[in-house]
Amino acid sequence: MTVAGKRLQQIARDTAASLDGVSHGRPFTPHLDVWKVRDKVFLIVTDDDPDLQIITVKVDPHHADALRRDHDTITAGHYLDKQHWISIGSGPGITPALIEDLVHGSYDLAGDHSTEDHA
């Protein structure tokens, strides 16, 4: 089941809010809902453009390559390092389970002090 943009964003927000030690706010602009763990960004929800209802998450670069190859609506991350971040929009294959998995994975990467922060 493919999810629409607003639903995609709400699933990402709900997933992020359920995780331990998470904070969120709008430190960059009123249109970017930024979620952090240990003061490191792991999710950005873009609210400024109804035609661009996306989320942006941190990923392993090899996983990012595979995701972009397999999904037309997954692109290099908006606003952040293009190798370590992806943006996800509504489209074929973008399911609630995939969104939840990507948010959890990004949270794990951002919360791991052994990885370098590429934001």
**Which CATH number goes with the domain that contains 107?**
3.90.1150.30
Q: What angle do CA 99, 14, 35 make, to 5 degrees?
A: 85
Q: Average pLDDT in the 31-47 region? A: 94
CA 20 to each of CA 36, 47, 65, 84, 100: distance values in angstroms, whole numbers, following the listed order: 11, 24, 28, 23, 15
Q: Between residues 57 and 28, which one has the greater pLDDT?
A: 57
* Rg for the chain, CA atoms, rounded: 13
Q: Would you say residue 83 lies in a domain? A: yes
Q: Average pLDDT in the 58-74 region? A: 94
Q: Would you say residue 118 lies in a domain? A: no
Mean pLDDT of the chain: 89
Q: Average pLDDT in the 86-97 region? A: 95
Q: Would you say residue 116 lies in a domain? A: no
Q: Average pLDDT in the 61-89 region? A: 90
Q: Would you say residue 17 lies in a domain? A: yes
* For residue 83, pLDDT beyond 70: yes
Please state the domain count of the chain. 1
pTM score of the predicted model: 0.89
Residue-number span of the structural domain to which 86 is assigned: 5-111
